[in-house]
Amino acid sequence: DAKTTQPTSMDCAEGRAANLPCNHSTISGNEYVYWYRQIHSQGPQYIIHGLKNNETNEMASLIITEDRKSSTLILPHATLRDTAVYYCIVRGGSGNTPLVFGKGTRLSVIA
């Protein structure tokens, strides 16, 4: 699976959009981009995933560049409860392969 690079930490004002970038320049054609978050040492929580098209769900939007070498997770209206470590993971193959976690981005939402 391709390696990802994320900023170590970011701050965001409550109510504003949080934009979390991720570089995955070695991604291959059949690899998906996944985003998970971990709130204060709980189990990681699924947010969203995509292959090449932009995706949106009730939690977030995922914007993938046309060359697929980077992506951005957008939390449209961040709240204090969104404070967490956000992991961008690139995974290919089937669901029989595990997720491999990098260091992630620690997002602090500030009142």
Partner 1 sequence: SAVISQKPSRDICQRGTSLTIQCQVDSQVTMMFWYRQQPGQSLTLIATANQGSEATYESGFVIDKFPISRPNLTFSTLTVSNMSPEDSSIYLCSSSTGGDGYTFGSGTRLTVV
Which of 19, 21, 32, 59 binds partner 1 (CB under 8 A)? It is: 32
For the bound state, the minimum distance from the C-beta of residue 2 to partner 1, rounded and expressed in Å, comes to 16
Task: Classify 82 as helix, strand or coil.
Answer: helix
Distance of alpha carbon 96 from alpha carbon 14, whole angstroms: 38
C-beta of residue 10 within 8 angstroms of C-beta of residue 72: no
Q: Tokens in use for 18?
A: 């949080």
Q: Which of residues 81-110 bind partner 1 (CB under 8 A)?
A: 85, 87, 94-96, 98-104
Nearer to partner 1, 14 or 101 (CB): 101
Does 44 bind partner 1 (CB under 8 A)? Our answer is yes
Does 52 bind partner 1 (CB under 8 A)? Our answer is no
For the bound state, the minimum distance from the C-beta of residue 15 to partner 1, rounded and expressed in Å, comes to 29
Does 7 bind partner 1 (CB under 8 A)? Our answer is no
For the bound state, the minimum distance from the C-beta of residue 99 to partner 1, rounded and expressed in Å, comes to 6
Say which amino acid occupies 29: G
DSSP for 44-62, written as a single string? -EEEEEESSS-EE-SS-EE
**36: nearest Cα among 105, 110, 109, 108:** 105
Judged by the rule CB under 8 A, the positions of this chain that interact with partner 1 are 32, 36, 41-46, 49, 85, 87, 94-96, 98-104
